[in-house]
Chains A and B, each alone.
Chain A
């Protein structure tokens, strides 16, 4: 309900005359028990229709630890879990979203993955499905699948590929089982966002939910090139909406929804070419009407602070910065070029402007990280705390959120071994102890969750058995502490003779066949490898929008979308 991608697709389908979309979510334990005890099939929220009566069911895959929920939803919908157990009378099960860029762990359960932007592909899928299903004999899924292959971009049908493994467990090969299947699946790319459909009439919930506001996507993609960041690669190239288009969408959305807040959303809002212009116009137009503007994902600099100041006027809520690391050396390795001096300057400015609550994000467990780098994080936190205390005393509140690197597919760090949990825990604890103060609160995640996330991020098809096993043992909502059951996961891996360590802690070879090699995100593997080598040498890479094209492989698409480097700033 909060997720923009779902709202976009929901809107596109419901604009059609021949189809409609409804919502279903993983139910909490009390509802699940009720459904199971009464034998009620999980149903949609709009018309209370049982799940197994739908033609197509689509899952949005935002996070690896939601995979057991996918199985639970199918099961509560009285739909067989495995694609091979479903005949053509059953709904077509599709999935998309960021983690579909490594679809393999769910390959046994999902009929078809949509890779990349879904705005155009979803219509094509429905068209093909409609043609197939109106013909009298709904003759076989194979026929439907082959027709779907003709869509050409963004369609991955796992059952058309067979995987072979080496004795070591590494992938040996992918073999097509039908000649029509593509060698690699190109992701879908919407070329012009101004012309892309946007939901100006999203569902407005009657009770409060997270992100309960208008979300205006100002641009898609990011050119910063932080080496740990998957979104920065898979959403390339950068495509901006024009100011005029955004103003029109804002006006229509406010009229239709009555929301009192607009959030300008993107991966790095300060990088929008006309961010000051759009912010100023929206604030001038709507603030007096009681509609506020919010700007998440701001960079650390005075310009961003100026923007934040504009939108927030007097009420100073929190400011969030993500330096990620504490030393210049590390910042070059991850290619997030913020230095401590910039941060201090911005913090000082913010304090003078009256901000009293700040949040800092850090990431540890990075390649080439030493204890000195951990000490640098400590120093940075302490320095900010001292600055805050000097200015605001007890009123200053600093929230520190420390995370750990989970190496993701399609990133320069896809070859890296995740750091072991005991070591991560040592580092977390060290930072927490070192910065303990009444003004500072520190948070870090459960290392066992990080481990599982790492496993499924870069996992292969064999993990399907493990996920099903864990689901049968009752695993669901794995990222929720009150549900998480690590022992069941351990047992499930054991039962299928797999280890978490193989997936999480193993460094990959340069030319190793990766489970996600079938998926072509547009950025070439050689580019990622080059970036990895540069990381090891501590060399940063320029932003292709600011300096020059870095040759990531998307050059022709960039030209096609009207984007070229050097065009601004």
Chain B
């Protein structure tokens, strides 16, 4: 008998520089230290039965990342959260644990995933004057509106096969400025999955900041949450 749990966790601070592959071993070590009774695979080299949601691009914070693990005995969610968090390094924190009971709920994450919501924190270079800041913010806002009106946004994207043309427009659901102050600008990007592909938000931010690279610094980018199809 195995007991499946879906876990939401946060990965921020300097842990945002940990790659997906390293995150995998970090998780296994945390689970071993926390003495969580994780189910092991069969065979001579048993591995913990854990699975991860889509990889977070390197350098991004994730505030509601998702992973699933299978235990050999049931644990109360609060206990699981507490045990894991006590064994976790700083920058890594479980925020929600949900046991999965029914077959219906066991549908793989990939099938339910519709897209992601990102937050982009922008800051001005210290040398920028206050009056100019406003102009820059206005310009970014104009850019956003302009971008949303376009039918297609073709860029040259690097792939494994070389440089190909990529249309960004179908991925973009929403772009909003959610905070505008003297010192910073926070933008929310909602990007959908298209034919199983997701888009690195940096491609859109790069487009928005064209010509402003000297005056605006990307402070951080956050994958705020996963958009899950609730009708399935």
Contacts and interface: CB of A to CB of B under 8 A. Distances in A.
B22 A208 contact: yes
A206 B87 contact: no
Nearest to B89: A206
A90 B17 CA distance: 35
B40 A207 contact: no
A291 B48 CA distance: 11
A254 B32 contact: yes
Most buried by B among A204, A256, A258: A258
A313 interface: yes
Max count, chain A CB within 10 A of own CB: residue among B25, B43, B44: B25
Contact of A255 (B22, B35, B47): B35
Given A206-B18, A290-B48, A292-B45, A256 B33 contact: yes
B89 A258 contact: no
A174 interface: no
A314 interface: yes
A259 interface: yes
Contact of A207 (B22, B43, B87): B22
A294 to B, nearest CB: 12
A292 B45 CA distance: 8
B102 to A, nearest CB: 29
B19 interface: yes
B47 A290 contact: yes
A260 B32 CA distance: 9
Interface in B1-47: 15, 17-19, 21-22, 25-26, 28-33, 35, 40, 43-47
A256 B86 CA distance: 12
A288 to B, nearest CB: 7
Contacts of A313: 44-45
A315 interface: yes
A315 B33 contact: no
B29 A260 contact: yes
Nearest to A204: B29
Contacts of B45: 290, 292, 313-315
A488 interface: no
B137 to A, nearest CB: 29
* Interface magnitude class on chain A: 20 to 34
Given A254-B32, A258-B28, 6 more contacts: A206-B89, A258-B31, A259-B32, A290-B32, A315-B44, A315-B45
Interface in A307-334: 313-315
A282 to B, nearest CB: 15
A291 B45 CA distance: 9
A314 B43 CA distance: 9
A255 B33 contact: yes
A292 B29 CA distance: 13
A206 B22 contact: yes
Contacts of B47: 290
User: Nearest 9 CB-CB pairs, A to B?
Assistant: A258-B29, A258-B32, A258-B33, A314-B44, A313-B44, A207-B22, A290-B46, A206-B18, A290-B40
Contacts of B46: 287-290
A257 interface: yes
Interface centre among B22, B32, B40, B89 (most CB of A within 10 A): B32
Contact of A259 (B29, B35, B87): B29
The dominant DSSP class at the B interface is: helix
A204 B45 CA distance: 22
A158 B195 CA distance: 70
Interface of A: 204, 206-208, 254-260, 287-292, 313-315
A289 B40 contact: yes
Nearest to B30: A258
A315 B40 CA distance: 17
A166 B48 CA distance: 67
Contacts of A258: 28-33, 87
A257 to B, nearest CB: 7
Contacts of A289: 32, 40, 46
A187 to B, nearest CB: 37
A2 to B, nearest CB: 16
Nearest to B33: A258
B19 A207 contact: yes
A259 B189 CA distance: 38
Contacts of A257: 29, 33
A288 B41 CA distance: 10
B57 to A, nearest CB: 16
Nearest to A212: B25
Contacts of B22: 206-208
Nearest to B28: A260
Contacts of B25: 208, 260
Give the interface centre of A204, A255, A289, A290 by most chain B CB atoms within 10 Å: A290
18 contacts: A206-B22, A206-B26, A207-B17, A208-B22, A256-B33, A258-B28, A258-B30, A258-B32, A258-B87, A259-B29, A260-B25, A260-B28, A287-B46, A289-B32, A290-B28, A290-B40, A290-B46, A315-B45
Contacts of A256: 33
Contacts of A260: 25, 28-29, 32
A208 B21 CA distance: 9
A207 B89 CA distance: 12
B18 to A, nearest CB: 5
A254 B17 CA distance: 25
B23 to A, nearest CB: 9
B92 to A, nearest CB: 9
B17 to A, nearest CB: 8
A207 B26 CA distance: 8
A290 B21 CA distance: 18
A287 B15 CA distance: 30
Interface string B176-219: 00000000000000000000000000000000000000000000
Interface in B46-65: 46-48
A301 B132 CA distance: 77
B187 to A, nearest CB: 29
Nearest to A313: B44
Contacts of B40: 288-290
Interface in B84-119: 87, 89
Contacts of A292: 45
A288 B40 CA distance: 8
